[in-house]
Amino acid sequence: MPYFMGKQSDDTKAQIDILVEELNLYNYEYHVLDAPSISDEEYDRQFRLLRELESQTGYIPPNSPSLRVGAPPLDKFDKAVHSIPMLSLDDIFTVDEVRAFDQRVRETLETAVVTYTAEPKYDGLAVELTYERGRLTRAATRGDGTTGEDVTQNIRTIKTVPLYITGEDVPELIEIRGEIYMTKADFDALNEMREEGGKYLFANPRNAAAGAVRQLDPAETAQRKLRITCYGTGQIKGITLSSQTELMGWLKKHRFPTPYRFKTANGIGEAIDYIYEMDAGRAELPFNIDGVVVKVDVFALRERLGEKTRAPRWAAAYKYQAHQGQTRVLTIIPSIGRTGVITPVAILEPVAVGGVTVSRSTLHNWDEIRRMEIRTGDTVIIERAGDVIPKVIWVISHDAALDTQVIEPEVCPECGSKAVREEGGAVLRCIGLNCPPQLQGRIIHFASRAALNIDGLGDKIAVALFESGLVKDFADIFRLTKADLVKLPRFAEKSAINLIQAIEKSKSTTLARFIYGLGIRHSGEFVSKLIAAHFDAIDALYGVTAETLSLIKQMGERTSSAIAAFFADERNIKTIETLKTLGLTISNPDYREINDTGANRKLAGLTFVITGTLPVARRELEEQIRGAGGTVSSSVSKQTSYVIAGESPGSKLGKARALGVKTVSYEEYRALFSE
């Protein structure tokens, strides 16, 4: 006779039963009621004791919490046929539709007021739990409604799913339906952990929960902190439940979690109030809901209402405006805005989000694309909050067949000018003066008071000139005639003459005004004056390097690069030259002023001698030094301020040392004299 059949083992069995009973209660208090009555340590201690006793005796009660872990992984899930199909719900989006639903129900039932129930619509995945004589024998996903997958081993790991129910009102068979979900906090913690482990992240709690339920290894599922809420039944044999309200009572009694703030509503008005209240508080809920489910309370009335193929006539799902939608990226194109910024835009398979159809979405910038690895063919989640422009927030999967890397364009898609990456930023900008989407804004700026000061060419006139097609590029301004203008609705003879005269007058301008008018990034009036002080004419700026510019005192690096990029573009130079042929003359009073004093320049009063091979062309360095007011000499003397020594320097280095003249490398020179 095995030892555990003796007296002592009877006592142990009784002890196991008590432990199971108590641990299940603690579990319920902890996970469902959120009110634990013992500490985690005490729970763990008792749980370890239970496992020890169970392994000593081989006696494991069917509702033992130890059964929640440890089932071996599966190869695949078995099919699970639902004895009663798991239907879906009709979605409705307005309160009028809720009233229309009530109207239909009352007409069919021929009653004045119907009792409804209202529950949150949990955003998770539906499952059905089968209890035979109190014991959980199967858990299945909804699948297509008729056939799902047998996920019993996984569902057993969810601590709030009772494994065994007891009592007088436990039926021979009951199928309980509910939603598996994950709280926002558990989801965040999971993703954080996955990020640390270098694993791919989940888009939202629903995807994470669905993924966990469909894990072949139950040990994995056990780690995912899933929850359940129970809201319906399939087949029942052996007891009679007559309403949703009664079902809720029964479920609670048997420790099933039930929908948060379940409400029995007397008439549709109370259900509508509930919808509003839930909507107001839903952001603060610890889990995601996507609406409220309104159901006829009494089961006998449900039967009279019946079902359609897909959904019952006795229930409706009021859906809150979805802020997210799933779709596919058809292609990614560069798109240029009025300020010249070139942004990548995803062209999407149209999808309804929050009441509008979305078919394009900005991808923000080019770094973002690389960071998110968005490509053509990807399945993505887009989000639209309020009336904000839709954004791709998540890539769910790549289409391997269409695995095309998105390439940042080198030139503007509209005008072919160079696309410049702004330093330190992920912003790509077109620097083309005549770039069509930017032109209107550029011309308004060009004509403004501090620039060419074309009196009468304000915003409205600029728009009119554009829309009429009279001005298609910068040069067209200087080609305008009185005859052109009088044809426009805004112009009378007098105002046309005035504008032509103002344009004529603007043709003799200063370099500072002209540079400012070009609207180069970071180049306001101050910078424009600064440049005019250092360069005698506009041509002196053609092809200027950022290095040269940065020698100017008070000139920042960003500004230097932006100006250099602008004047490196041949199209821009061509446009300026065309303006000159149309009569534009640029004087430069600012240049003389500064040159007279000279002292304003960074290297004024300093003499340099260059020796050896430098990282830049010697001629360029000399030009820089002279540009900044310095002197370049070919021989070292006591008057020499600095010797800039490159690789394999000649005898000049020795002479400098002998005379005690400071010697610097090119890098040191840069560090000393450019901010």
Applying CB under 6 A, among 65, 232, 234, 432 the residue interacting with ligand IVH is: 232
- Give the span between the Cα atoms of 211 and 349, in whole angstroms: 25
Nearest to 293, CA basis, from 126, 517, 50, 540: 126
Q: Provide DSSP, 441-509.
A: HHHHHHHSTTTT--TT--HHHHHHHHHTTS-SSHHHHTT--HHHHHTSTT--HHHHHHHHHHHHHHTEE
Nearest to 275, CA basis, from 320, 244, 245: 320
CA dihedral sign, ordered 591, 595, 596, 598? positive
SS (H, E, C) 609-653: EEECECCCCHHHHHHHHHHCCCEEECCCCCCCCEEEECECCCHHH
CA dihedral sign, ordered 356, 360, 363, 369? positive
Nearer to ligand IVH, 66 or 233 (CB): 233
Applying CB under 6 A, among 257, 259, 334, 432 the residue interacting with ligand IVH is: 259
Nearer to ligand IVH, 130 or 674 (CB): 130
Applying CB under 6 A, among 312, 436, 612, 649 the residue interacting with ligand IVH is: 312
Stretch that binds ligand IVH, among 53-61, 85-93, 378-386, 480-488 (CB under 6 A): 85-93
Residue span 129-158 as binding mask against ligand IVH, x where in contact by CB under 6 A, dash where not: -------------x----------------
Shortest approach of ligand IVH to residue 328 CB, angstroms? 23
Distances (CA, A) of 297 to 84, 105, 126, 170, 454: 19, 12, 20, 22, 75
How far is the first Cα of the chain from the last one, in angstroms, to the nearest whole number?
Answer: 94
Nearer to ligand IVH, 122 or 474 (CB): 122
Applying CB under 6 A, among 119, 149, 383, 414 the residue interacting with ligand IVH is: 119
Number of residues that bind ligand IVH (CB under 6 A): 16
Nearer to ligand IVH, 258 or 560 (CB): 258
Shortest approach of ligand IVH to residue 88 CB, angstroms? 5
Residue count of the chain, please give it.
675
- Give the span between the Cα atoms of 46 and 27, in whole angstroms: 12
Stretch that binds ligand IVH, among 45-53, 82-90, 600-608, 639-647 (CB under 6 A): 82-90
Q: Does 247 bind ligand IVH (CB under 6 A)?
A: no
> What amino acid occupies position 502?
A
Residues 6+ apart with CB under 8 A from 384: 323, 324, 325, 353, 354, 356, 358, 390, 391
Applying CB under 6 A, among 293, 346, 485, 503 the residue interacting with ligand IVH is: 293
* Core vs surface per residue 181-207: b (16+ CB within 10 A) or e: bbbeebbeebbeeeeeeeeeebbbbbb
Shortest approach of ligand IVH to residue 155 CB, angstroms? 15
Positions marked active-site: 121
Applying CB under 6 A, among 179, 186, 297, 378 the residue interacting with ligand IVH is: 179
Q: Does 87 bind ligand IVH (CB under 6 A)?
A: yes
Beta strands 135-141; 315-319: pairing state: unpaired
Q: Does 89 bind ligand IVH (CB under 6 A)?
A: yes
- Give the span between the Cα atoms of 162 and 136, in whole angstroms: 8
Applying CB under 6 A, among 122, 474, 491, 608 the residue interacting with ligand IVH is: 122
What is the phi/psi pair of residue 61, to 5°? -60, 150
Applying CB under 6 A, among 26, 231, 274, 591 the residue interacting with ligand IVH is: 231
Q: Does 251 bind ligand IVH (CB under 6 A)?
A: no
Shortest approach of ligand IVH to residue 262 CB, angstroms? 9
Edge-to-edge strand ranges of the sheet holding 227-237 = 135-141, 125-132, 173-181, 227-237
Nearer to ligand IVH, 257 or 390 (CB): 257
Shortest approach of ligand IVH to residue 321 CB, angstroms? 16
Cβ(225)–Cβ(182) below 8 Å: yes
- The residue number with the shortest CB distance to ligand IVH is 126
Q: Does 126 bind ligand IVH (CB under 6 A)?
A: yes
Cβ(581)–Cβ(479) below 8 Å: no
Shortest approach of ligand IVH to residue 213 CB, angstroms? 12
- Give the span between the Cα atoms of 554 and 536, in whole angstroms: 18
Applying CB under 6 A, among 212, 317, 342, 555 the residue interacting with ligand IVH is: 317
Shortest approach of ligand IVH to residue 120 CB, angstroms? 6
Q: Which helix (H) or strand (E) holds 185?
A: helix 184-196
Nearer to ligand IVH, 88 or 578 (CB): 88
Nearer to ligand IVH, 26 or 231 (CB): 231
Q: Does 601 bind ligand IVH (CB under 6 A)?
A: no
Per DSSP, the three-state class of 523 is coil
Shortest approach of ligand IVH to residue 104 CB, angstroms? 16
Shortest approach of ligand IVH to residue 312 CB, angstroms? 5
Applying CB under 6 A, among 31, 68, 82, 121 the residue interacting with ligand IVH is: 121
Q: Does 447 bind ligand IVH (CB under 6 A)?
A: no
Nearer to ligand IVH, 121 or 529 (CB): 121
**Binding stretches for ligand IVH (CB under 6 A):** 87-89, 119, 121-122, 126, 142, 179, 231-232, 259, 293, 312, 315, 317
